[in-house]
Structure 1
C-alpha cells in the first residue's frame, strides 16, 4: 500500500553495523538517515523530522543512554520512539534505566532481521497514524469552527459533545458519562458499560445500581465528590475500584466537571472513567522487581562473602582457584534461574553446567527423570555439585583417564535422592578430617534444605548419597530468595 515515507535515524559508531542495519531495513521502503556518533545524531534531529531512532547503547563520547537523555530534554523529541541495540547482556536494572531515558524497546545482538524490521515497522506506522490523526483533528476543528456560526442554537450541546469526544481521545481506554443534576437521568456510553462489566440491555443506570458496583471501601469518596459539587466545586478527580458482576476488581480514575446555569447552580455533571488496572499492575510489578533485585543482590553478596571468608588453602593460587570456582558455580545457576524468570531450574541442566569441563571420553554417565527445582534448592545443589566435581577432578575418578563417574537420581514422595558413584580412579583413603567443600556441602544440604548427605569412602571410589525434600518450606521460598543464614551455617561447619 502506498504511504508517505518516514525518516528512520540509525546511530552507531561502527560503519559495518550501520551498513548491516541499512540492508535489513531497506525493504521497509522508508528513508534511512545515518549518524556515526551521538553528536551527529543530535545535528540530524535538529534539521530533520525523525519517526524512529535506532541507537547503539555502547558508543564513545556519548553512549546510547546519554544520547537518549539529551534527546528527551528537547520538547520536540519527547515522544520520538527510540530503540536500543545492545551487544551485551542487559540486566533488569539497565532495562529500567533505558526506559527511564526514553527507550521504547531493546534489540539484542546478534540482531534478528525479521524482529528488527517488525519493531521498526510498528513504530513507523504508529508515527504515520499519529500524524494522520493530527491532520484529521486539524481538519475536524476547522469544520467545527466553520459550522459554529450556522448552529448558534445548538452551541451548548455541540460544546458538551466535543468536550466528551476530546476527553475520550486523550484518555484512551475509557468511558464517558453524563448526569442531569436536575432530573437525575444518567447517560453512559459503550466504554462505561464495558469498564463496569455490564450491558445496556441488563443494567439500569441509577445511583443504587452504580453504588452496588463500587468497592465498599471506595463508596465514601464518591459520596464526597457529590458533596463537593453541592459546595461549589466545578471539577473533581479521584481513583476508585469497582467490583464487576463476575467478581473481578478493576482500578479506575474518574474525572468529572460540572455545568452551571446563569445563577451558578449545577445543572449537569459530565465525566470520564479510565480503566487504569494495567497501569496499577505494572507499578506493582516494577516495585516487586526492584525489591527482588535488591534482595537477590544482597543474598548473592552474602553468600559470596561467606565463600571468600571461609575458603582455606595453603597457597594463594589454590585459594584464588577455589574461590573463583565456587563463585562461578553460583553465577552459572543464577544464569539458569534468570532464563526462567526465577521460577526454577532443571536438575539435569545444573549437572550439565557443572560437568561440562570434565565430560571427556565418556567418563560420566547420567540417569534420572526431569526434576524442576525451586530457586533456593537449585542454588544450594549447584554449589554442592560443584564441590563434588572439584574434589573428583583433584583426587577422585575424574583425575585419571580410567576413572568413571555415574550420577543417578529419582523422586519419590517429593523426596529427591541423588547417588554419586565413582569407580576406576586412584585408591581412596577415608579423609582424616573434612575440608571446607565437604563441610559446606553437609551444612547447606542438611541445614539449608533439610536433607541428608552421606559419604562412603570406598577403596574403589567415593559413593555419595544426597536426599533433598522438594516441598520443605525453606526449599520453596519465593523465587530468587536465598536464606542468608546459610552463611552462618557455613561458619559453624567450618569451625
Structure 2
C-alpha cells in the first residue's frame, strides 16, 4: 500500500535557492510547500500540517532564528523538525542558539544534494511513523474507552440493580439470610441485621444467638421449622416476634426454602424476613377503632334516646324543634371531634358552633384562653351550652335587639370556670318548674362531669356559672353569691 505523503516547508527569500531545493528533494516523492519569507511561512503553518521545515538562517525582516522561536511558541509546532541552511560559517554559539530555538540540524552551503535528501528523508519518515503511532494510540484509546464504557455501563447496571434491591428491601423492611445446613454457617444481609436491631460488628450469627433474640413464646416456631425440614418439607412460613437488644418487640413473618442434594438431604436453607410490626399495629388500631366506634355509637344513641324521651312540649311542632335542636347540637360537637380524630375540641369552637345559627353580631362578647376539652367533656358541655343559648334566644337577653350576653372562662388547677352573664333583655323572674333543659344541664354537668351549675336569677338578666373539671376528679365549688339550693330551673316565668 502506498504510504501517505507528508508536507515539507521550504523557506528562503531567494527564488533560485527555493528552485534548487525543489529539484534536490523532488525524488523523495513528498509534498513540497514554498514560502519566500518568514511571515509567509507562518501563514502556511497555520493552514497546513508540516512534517519538516527547511529554513534559511539569513533572511530580511525575520531571520531563521526569529522564525524558529515564533514557531516553537505555538503548541502545534513544538515538536516539528526544523533544519537550518546557512551560507556563512556558523559558530558554536550560533549552533547552540539554533538548537535552543528548536533546530534539529544544520546544512552548510554549498548544499550536498545527497546529504540534504538523506536528512529530510529521515525526519519525514520519523514524522510519518510518529503520526502512525499516534493514530494507533488513538485507536487503542478509543477501544479502551469503548471497553471501559461497556464495563462502567455494566457495573452501573449491577450497582443500580443492587440499589433497587436494597431500596426495595429497606422500603419493605425486609432481610434475607442463608443457612448452610451441613456446616452450620449463617449469612445475613444488611436488612436482616437491621430488623433484629444488631450489627455485624458485634453480633455473631449462630442458632444460639438467634434464638436469644426470639420472643420466648415464639422459640418453638424455630424448633418446629427445623423439624419440618428434617421431615422433608421444602418450604415453611410463620409469624414470630423478636426482642431487640434495646428491648423493643417487633413482629416478623419469615419464609424459608430448602435446597437438597441428589439424595434428597437438606444441604441449605435460604429465606426472607419481613418486618410486619406496622401492619400488626395498624390491625390493632383498626380493631381498637372499631370497638371505639361501636362504643361511641352506642353512647350517641343513648343520648339521642334520652333527648327524645325527656323532651316535653305542648304541641308537636315545638316538640320536633326541641328534639332537632338538641340532636343538631350533638351532631355539631361530633363533627368537631371527628376533625380532631377524637382527640378533643376547643371550647371556643364549641361556642362558635352554637352561635352560628343566630347571627347576633355585637350582642355577644367572648373572652377566655384556649381550652382543649376531652371528647366526653366536649359532648356534655356542648349540650349544656345549647340549652343556655336556646333559652336565652326564646326568653332571655338574646330574644331582643337590646339584649347583651357576655361569656368568659378561665382555667385554674384543671378546673374550668365558665361565666354566662345576660343583660338588657326582658325582666327575669325565678322559674317555678324544671324543664328538660334544666334537668339535662344539671345532670350532665354535675353527674357526668362531676362539676357544678350555679344560677343567679337577677332581674336584669341571668347570671350562670359552670364549673367543670378538665380531668375525671370532682370539682369543689368556689364561694360566691350564687343560689345553689335546688339548682333553680332555667325556664323563665314567662315560659
**Band of TM-score, shorter chain:** 0.5 to 0.7
- CA deviation map 1:282-322 (0-9, x unaligned): 22222222222222222212211111111000011111110
How far, CA to CA, are the matches of 2:96 and 2:46 in structure 1? 27
Contact 2:451 2:474 (8 Å CA) reproduced: no
Closer, same or farther: CA 106–166 of 1 in aligned 2, 3 Å? farther
Q: Answer with 217-226 or 329-338: which moved more.
A: 217-226
Contact 1:306 1:487 (8 Å CA) reproduced: no
- CA deviation map 1:320-358 (0-9, x unaligned): 110110011001101110110000000011011112233
How far, CA to CA, are the matches of 1:63 and 1:436 in structure 2? 124
Q: Answer with 248-257 or 384-393: which moved more.
A: 248-257
Deviation at 1:122, TM superposition (A): 71
Contact 1:444 1:490 (8 Å CA) reproduced: no
- Equivalent residue number for residue 270 of structure 1: 270
| 1:242 is the counterpart of 2:230 | no
- CA deviation map 1:77-121 (0-9, x unaligned): 999999999999999999999999999999999999999999999
Contact 1:443 1:489 (8 Å CA) reproduced: no
Closer, same or farther: CA 101–409 of 1 in aligned 2, 3 Å? farther
Closer, same or farther: CA 444–56 of 1 in aligned 2, 3 Å? farther
Q: Which has the higher contact order (CA 8 A, sep 6+)?
A: 1
Structure 1: 5+ residue runs without aligned partners?
none
Closer, same or farther: CA 133–469 of 1 in aligned 2, 3 Å? farther
Closer, same or farther: CA 169–307 of 1 in aligned 2, 3 Å? same
Closer, same or farther: CA 482–376 of 1 in aligned 2, 3 Å? farther
How far, CA to CA, are the matches of 1:134 and 1:33 in structure 2? 24
Q: Secondary structure at the match of 1:357?
A: coil
Contact 1:164 1:176 (8 Å CA) reproduced: no
Closer, same or farther: CA 448–28 of 1 in aligned 2, 3 Å? farther
How far, CA to CA, are the matches of 1:434 and 1:105 in structure 2? 131
| 1:404 is the counterpart of 2:393 | no
Deviation at 1:221, TM superposition (A): 1.5
Structure 2: 5+ residue runs without aligned partners?
none
Q: Answer with 449-458 or 6-15: which moved more.
A: 6-15
Closer, same or farther: CA 149–123 of 1 in aligned 2, 3 Å? same
- CA deviation map 1:446-474 (0-9, x unaligned): 00001111111111111111111111169
Closer, same or farther: CA 92–282 of 1 in aligned 2, 3 Å? farther
Closer, same or farther: CA 167–422 of 1 in aligned 2, 3 Å? closer
Q: What TM-score results when the alignment is normalised by the length of structure 1?
A: 0.62
Superposed CA RMSD: 33.0
Deviation at 1:277, TM superposition (A): 1.2
How far, CA to CA, are the matches of 1:86 and 1:393 in structure 2? 125
How far, CA to CA, are the matches of 2:176 and 2:343 in structure 1? 41
Closer, same or farther: CA 110–161 of 1 in aligned 2, 3 Å? farther
How far, CA to CA, are the matches of 2:156 and 2:363 in structure 1? 88
Contact 1:365 1:406 (8 Å CA) reproduced: yes
Q: Answer with 394-403 or 193-202: which moved more.
A: 193-202
Deviation at 1:133, TM superposition (A): 46
Closer, same or farther: CA 479–399 of 1 in aligned 2, 3 Å? closer
Closer, same or farther: CA 168–435 of 1 in aligned 2, 3 Å? closer
Contact 2:437 2:490 (8 Å CA) reproduced: no
Closer, same or farther: CA 307–232 of 1 in aligned 2, 3 Å? same
Q: Secondary structure at the match of 1:115?
A: helix
- Equivalent residue number for residue 75 of structure 2: 75
Q: What TM-score results when the alignment is normalised by the length of structure 2?
A: 0.62
Q: Secondary structure at the match of 2:422?
A: strand
Closer, same or farther: CA 273–354 of 1 in aligned 2, 3 Å? same
Contact 2:240 2:251 (8 Å CA) reproduced: yes
Q: Answer with 117-126 or 246-255: which moved more.
A: 117-126
Contact 2:455 2:483 (8 Å CA) reproduced: no
Q: Secondary structure at the match of 2:486?
A: helix
